[in-house]
């Protein structure tokens, strides 16, 4: 799961929606369930280029433009 800048998001015009959803609580619940079922929970840095990473080989393509990412 990617780490999100929740404090920064709360300063935006979506703050009420984000606050109502409770992103922090959601992350806590996912961590708890992962531990419960013996799974590994990993959070990656929000700046990690996950949308540029190839699912097959793991190579990161820095040449991809925003509209080309999948």
Distances from the Cα of 45 to the Cαs of 2, 3, 33, 48, in angstroms? 6, 6, 21, 5
Q: Residue 20 is part of which domain span?
A: 6-68
In this predicted structure, what is the pLDDT of residue 41? 92
The β-bridge partners of 60 are 53
Structurally, the chain folds into a number of domains equal to 1
In this predicted structure, what is the pLDDT of residue 38? 97
In this predicted structure, what is the pLDDT of residue 34? 95
Whether residue 59 is contained in a domain is answered as yes
The pTM for the full model equals 0.51
In this predicted structure, what is the pLDDT of residue 4? 67
In this predicted structure, what is the pLDDT of residue 23? 74
Whether residue 1 is contained in a domain is answered as no
Look at residues 31, 29, 24, 28 and name the one whose alpha carbon lies nearest to residue 9: 24
Which residues of the chain are modeled with pLDDT < 50? none
């Amino acid at each position: 799961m990617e780490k999100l800048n929740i404090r920064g998001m709360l300063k935006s015009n979506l703050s009420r929606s984000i606050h109502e959803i409770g992103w922090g609580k959601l992350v806590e619940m996912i961590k708890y369930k992962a531990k419960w079922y013996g799974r590994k929970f990993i959070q990656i840095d929000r700046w990690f280029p996950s949308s540029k990473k190839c699912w097959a080989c793991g190579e990161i393509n820095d040449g991809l433009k925003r509209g080309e990412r999948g």
